[in-house]
Amino acid sequence: MKRLGIITRLNVQNGTALVKEGDIIREGTMLVGGYLEGKYTGTRYVHSLADIQAKIWYSKKEKFSYKQQLKKPSNATETKYSIKINNFTINFYKTLSKFKNYDTIMESKKMNLFSNFYLPIEIIKMTNSEFYYEEVIYTEEELLEVAKTKLETELLEEIESKDDIINEQVNVYKFDDGIELEIIYEVLEEIGTEEKIVF
């Protein structure tokens, strides 16, 4: 979904403004055209240049259940090795993992004779880390806190600076089995990107 915003400041140094202050815009909207139109000169193509600021709305909405299965590490690990020669792999283990639920991290190391001369041989190390699921039942207050932390973290990853947030709106919708949380940030941003003129 393309983000919405409203123009709060528009100062065009070169080019033709295609929007004005107060206009609602969508991500991808052309804001300034790379041309000037004169009564006697006709249309002249120029490098557009402008200082544009807008209020942009960032939002996240998600449903959360009171009863959840949380993934927890058991701290048990197992390590397995294999060797790869060109496209042929030899495993040094005979069985599958003894764990029911596990995450796998693979590391590979190429063999070298000298600092810049590598052989077509790789040693692969597989580390399986066991985890289990634990059922947790949250109260409404606890769930709201968990949900708010998750959505705020995701939103802040999309925003350049936390200081640019000028307004926050939180909507909570209650259900029998959980809540739906919506967080909307209103952010003041300098916007616009340069695009090449294609003739």
In a domain? residue 198: no
Q: C-alpha 73: how far from its chain's center?
A: 25
State how far the alpha carbon of 68 is from the alpha carbons of 60, 102, 105, 145, in Å: 20, 19, 26, 14
Contact yes or no for 93/81 (Cβ under 8 A):
yes
**Both 54 and 144 in a single domain?**
yes
Residue 199 has pLDDT above 60, yes or no: no
pLDDT of residue 185: 95
User: DSSP states of 171-194 as a string?
Assistant: EEEE-SSEEEEEEEEEEEEE----
Say which residues have a Cβ less than 8 Å from residue 85's Cβ, sequence separation at least 6.
Answer: 120, 121
Q: What's the number of domains the chain is made of? A: 2
In a domain? residue 174: yes
The pLDDT tens digits for 86-131 are 889 999 887 888 999 999 999 999 988 887 888 889 999 999 999 9
Enclosing domain of residue 74: 67-136
**Both 53 and 142 in a single domain?**
yes
Q: C-alpha 110: how far from its chain's center?
A: 32
In a domain? residue 94: yes
